[in-house]
Structure formats: C-alpha cells, structure tokens
Amino acid sequence: MPLHRLLVIAIASAALLVPTVAQEDAIGAPGPIVFEQTRFELAWTSHPTPTYYKQEYLPQGQALESYGEMFMVDMLTEGATPESAAADMIAGLEQRKASDPVVNYDMIANEATGEIIFDFLLSDASGDTVIVEWNAYRYVPLGDSLALFAISRRGYGDDASAFIGSLKDWRSATIQSLAVMDLPDIALD
C-alpha cells in the first residue's frame, strides 16, 4: 500500500472509536514516554504492513476511544522521507477540506537535521459527538527508515469550540516541546 494511503488511513482512523487493546511493544519503545510533564503508557500497537509499525501511548485513566491526549510513535522502514510523508499528509488534508471545514495545517522544516514538524487540525462530525483533533507530527529520518513522533489532542462535543479557541494558548509551546524532545530509541527485532 502506498505511503500516502497509509497516512490518509491514519488520519481517518484517528477519529474512529476503537476499543483499547493492550499489546506488546513492537519497536523497542515500550514507554513510558514523558512529554510536557505527562507520562504516556503504551496502550496499542499495530503492524499493518511489513514496513509499517504504529504505537499509541495514553496518560493513565484515558482510553483510546475517548482520549484527551495521546502520544504516537510510528516507523516506516522503507519508501518514505520527511518531505514525502508531509506531502502525502498535505494531499490528504486538502482532499478532506471538501467535507471538513476545520482542516488547517502548517509545516516547519529543520534543514540541519532533515526533520519536519507538521501540525494540523481536523474534525469528525459523523458520530453522535463532534470531535476536533489537533496533531503535531515530528518526522525524523533514520537511515533508510522514517520515524514519526507525534502528539494528538482532542476536544469533544460542547468543548470542541473551546478546544479550537484554546489552541493559540498552547500550540506553539507544544510544537517547540516536540521539536526539542529527547526521542525514545527505536529498535526493530
């Protein structure tokens, strides 16, 4: 499956409500991961293709189907660069704009490291409760592989508008925290 299809699936699945299934670490990053003084524990893993690994981490007491914030670590072992991954995200979000008036995004490239930080906002009103989701993705080249370290935050229902309004208060600081974060090591078996 092409990278852009995986990333579009990742965007769409982020808004889906899925049951929590604790699984074993598949990429050598069992957690916990501490980000902005919040401790995130491994909550879910997936290995949907031979070259794609995905792990999601939650603070204690939160659930995948209704999280307020989540940390993610993904690994693509071939066929992607930070630039191609960001371009695929942009293409998917541009398509989504036709049905999602909240979609917005921005990108920062670090030429010295080859990394890209891509942040975006989207929503899902298909269920009983509106979900607004903001994500910041840090794409990190690792030899022939690409790692993604990301933070996702959500607002639900009546709090969705307040969530959007509060972005200006914490978005830049969170992006900066992600940019300077000491990243967990990744080691595939």
User: For the whole prediction, is pTM greater than 0.85?
Assistant: yes
Q: Does residue 32 have a cis bond before it (omega within 30 degrees)? A: yes
Domain ranges of the chain: 3-180
Give the pair of three-digit tokens for residue 84. 């191609």
Determine the distance from the C-alpha atom of residue 164 to the mean position of all C-alpha atoms in its chain, rounded to a whole number.
17
Give the pair of three-digit tokens for residue 43. 């909550």
Quick one: pLDDT at residue 45? 94
- Vertex 142 angle, CA 140 and 144, to 5°: 120
Residue 166: other Cβ atoms inside 10 A: 14
Quick one: pLDDT at residue 114? 95
DSSP string spanning 34-96? EETTEEEEEEEEEEEETTEEEEEEEETT--GGG-SEEEEEEEE-SS--HHHHHHHHHHHHHHH
Quick one: pLDDT at residue 19? 37
Could you tell me the mean pLDDT of each successive run of 10 residues in the chain, 189 residues long? Answer: 39 39 78 96 93 95 95 93 96 96 96 96 93 98 94 96 96 98 85
Quick one: pLDDT at residue 88? 95
